[in-house]
Chains A and B, each alone.
Chain A
C-alpha cells in the first residue's frame, strides 16, 4: 500500500511517519502541510491511503474529503473525539484516530484499511496494477467466444499448447498459454502457485504444506511460489 500524510504540523507528520514505519508493505510517497497541495497531488497520482488531519488552516478535513475525487481510503487523525459520528458518514473514511495514537491502535487501523481495500479491489477487479475492464474473460472455444466471469474460474492448468480453465460446472480446454492468460486476469484474485497452475485465490478451502484445496481439486504449490501465497493470507 502507498500513502500520503496531510497535516499542517511538522511534529504530527513525524509521529504518523514513525507509526507507518511499523507497518509492513506501507510506503509513504509524500507528505503535505497544506490540504490544497495534497489535492493537487492527488489529481495527478493515485494512492491507497491518506492520513488526514481534520483541523487545518483554511480547509477542514471534511472539505478535503468532499473535494476529493480519488478512491483512496482516508484515515482521519485528530485531537477531537466528537467528530467521529460525522466522519463515519463518509464512505471513503476508513478510520478515525484520536491523538495520541499508539502503535497498537495504528496497526488495528491498518488492518481495517487493508481489508477495505481488498474488498474494494475484489469488486472492481482492477486495482492499481491492472487496467482490466469488467469482471469477465472471453475464451475461444470452437470458434465461439465464450464469456467466463472471473469469479467463476477456480483454477487454470497448463497442458502443453493448451490450458484447462476449470469452473464450478465445466472444464474448458483453450488453445493458449498460462503466461497469456495470466496477463488477462486480475492479480488481486489470481495467483500462480506452480509453473503449471494459476488459482483463484478466493476459492481456497485450505492449504497444506505444498498444496491448496479448491473444491475437490488439490493444486500443487511450488517452493518458489509459496512465500507470495503466504504473504497474501490474512493469517491469524
Chain B
C-alpha cells in the first residue's frame, strides 16, 4: 500500500519555500569586492591594504571559531560568529549574513541551528580569501 505523504500546512509550506529560496540564493552567492571597491573609490593602496588585513585576520578568527566549537561554549561561539559577520558583509555576502545572524541568535538561545550552513559560508570565504 502506498504511503500517504506527510501533511504540510500552508504556513509550513510558505516557510519551507522561503528556506529553499534562501538556500538557492546562498548557493549562488559568491564573495565579491563590490563593497570594498565602493569604499576604496579607486584608491588601490587602501584596497590592497584592507585585503591584506582581512587575509591576516580571517584565519585567526576561523581558528577562534573552531576552538570555541570544540569547547562547546555557545556564548563564546556566538561572539566569534558576530565578529565573522563583519567579514561576511565586507565580502558582499548578503544572504550568508542572514544565516550568520540566525546562527548567532540561535546560539544565544542555547541552540545550534544553521551551524552547517554557516560553516559552508566559512568554507566559501576561506577559498575566496586564499585566492587573493
Q: Is the CB of B85 within 8 A of A10?
A: no
Residue of B nearest to A10 (CB): B53
Q: Is the CB of B53 within 8 A of A55?
A: no
Q: Is the CB of B57 within 8 A of A10?
A: yes
Write out, one digit per residue, whether chain B residues 62-77 have a CB within 8 A of any chain A CB (1) or not (0). Answer: 0000000000000000
> Given A18-B46, A55-B79, are A11 and B86 also a contact pair (CB < 8 Å)?
yes
Binds A, one of B15-23, B24-32, B34-42, B116-124: B34-42
- Expressed in whole angstroms, the Cα–Cα distance for A66 and B82 within the complex equals 23
A-B pairs with beta carbons under 8 A, tally: 49
| Shortest Cβ gap from B10 to chain A (Å) | 29
Tell me whether A103 is interfacial, beta carbon within 8 Å: yes
- Expressed in whole angstroms, the Cα–Cα distance for A17 and B53 within the complex equals 14
Q: Is the CB of B86 within 8 A of A79?
A: yes
Query: Which residues of the other chain, B, contact A102 by a CB distance below 8 angstroms?
Result: 38-39
> Given A10-B57, A11-B50, A11-B54, are A79 and B90 also a contact pair (CB < 8 Å)?
no
Which A residues between 20 and 69 are near B, CB-CB below 8 angstroms? Answer: 22, 55, 57
Residue of B nearest to A7 (CB): B86
Query: Which residues of the other chain, B, contact A55 by a CB distance below 8 angstroms?
Result: 79, 82-83
The count of chain A contact residues (Cβ–Cβ below 8 Å) is 17
9 more contacts with CB within 8 A, not counting A11-B87, A19-B39, A55-B83, are A9-B57, A11-B57, A15-B90, A18-B46, A79-B82, A79-B89, A100-B89, A100-B90, A102-B39
Interface residues of A (CB under 8 A from B): 9-12, 14-15, 18-19, 22, 55, 57, 79-80, 99-100, 102-103
Can you report 26 residue pairs joining A to B where beta carbons are below 8 Å apart? A9-B57, A9-B83, A10-B53, A11-B50, A11-B86, A11-B87, A12-B86, A14-B46, A14-B53, A15-B50, A15-B90, A18-B39, A18-B43, A18-B50, A19-B39, A57-B79, A79-B85, A79-B86, A99-B85, A99-B89, A99-B90, A100-B35, A102-B38, A102-B39, A103-B39, A103-B41
Interface residues of B (CB under 8 A from A): 35, 38-41, 43, 46, 49-50, 53-54, 56-57, 79, 82-83, 85-87, 89-90
